Amino acid sequence: MKLQRPRVMGVVNATPDSFSDGGRFLDPAAALDHARRLIAEGADILDVGAESTRPGADPVPAAVEIERLVPLIGAIRAESAVPISVDTMKPEVARAAMAAGASIWNDVTALSHSPDSLAMAAELGCDVVLMHMQGEPRTMQAEPRYDDVVAEVAAFLAERSHAAMAAGVAHERIWLDPGIGFGKHMLRHNLPLLAGLDRIVALGFPVLLGASRKAFIGALSGGAAADQRLGGSIAAALAGAAAGVAAVRVHDVAETVQALNVQAAIAQAGSA
């Protein structure tokens, strides 16, 4: 039975300071092992990153990102055909990652970090994820402000998708992401955005949702630590699926695949 459900993107961090699993996968062999495990658990895409975007994280020079990412991407590609996405805001890192075997550029700055980003995305011809963020990672949680968070995020994503297409990125290469947790008040902004995902989906591009283990889940569960947020992460993924997102970016692949498969099977039985 082929089920209609979002694709599951598993997170592989090669960072010493990522909020959810900081440091555990900096060792290249450990990161590769983790990637193997996520593939075995059913990941449809792997998202590899070497610069944490958590609030207050230190920037990483491009050369260090490349040094961490290229061997890892090459090693994954050598043993699997799984699509690989690279989580970077730097065009030179995206280029190195594509040369090593990645095919998706996941950019939390929506191709605005460098004046070269738009042209690089067009030149690479890869898929690009344009994510919304208010402010920049170091300071974005200081005082996020919106009048209407869903409308403002949708308008920003529409503008960036037009900028990308004007620069030569094909429509079918573009994904949008509301950027849960990126310059958003934990509950006042993230919850309306999750409730209004259908309005982001209505922009006509595949939508990626990254809510896994984020702080708003802790805020709704008595301050649960990042590795104690599985239930809430699954609830958010299911809400995304119900709204029609194309993919969810998650840390817990096996559990998310199971939840999405059950949701899809129930929906299918209901419409048979």
Q: Which residues bind ligand HH2 (CB under 6 A)?
A: 11, 13, 18-21, 49, 52-54, 87, 106, 108, 129, 131, 177, 179-180, 208, 210, 249
Residue 111 CA to residue 98 CA, distance in Å, equals 16
Whether the CB-CB separation of 108 and 136 falls below 8 Å is answered with no
Identify which of 70, 62, 125, 67 has the alpha carbon closest to the alpha carbon of residue 88: 62
Identify which of 90, 103, 47, 87 has the alpha carbon closest to the alpha carbon of residue 248: 47
Tell the smallest beta-carbon distance from residue 4 to ligand HH2 (Å): 22
3-class state of residue 60 by DSSP: coil
Both ends of the chain: CA-CA distance in Å?
13
Tell the smallest beta-carbon distance from residue 131 to ligand HH2 (Å): 4
Known catalytic membership, residue 95? no
Length of the chain: 272
Tell the smallest beta-carbon distance from residue 20 to ligand HH2 (Å): 4
Nearer to ligand HH2, 7 or 268 (CB): 7
- Report CA 163 to chain centroid distance, whole Å: 20
Known catalytic membership, residue 138? no
Structure tokens at 10: 């598993």
Residue 25 CA to residue 192 CA, distance in Å, equals 33
Tell the smallest beta-carbon distance from residue 134 to ligand HH2 (Å): 13
Active site residues: 214, 249
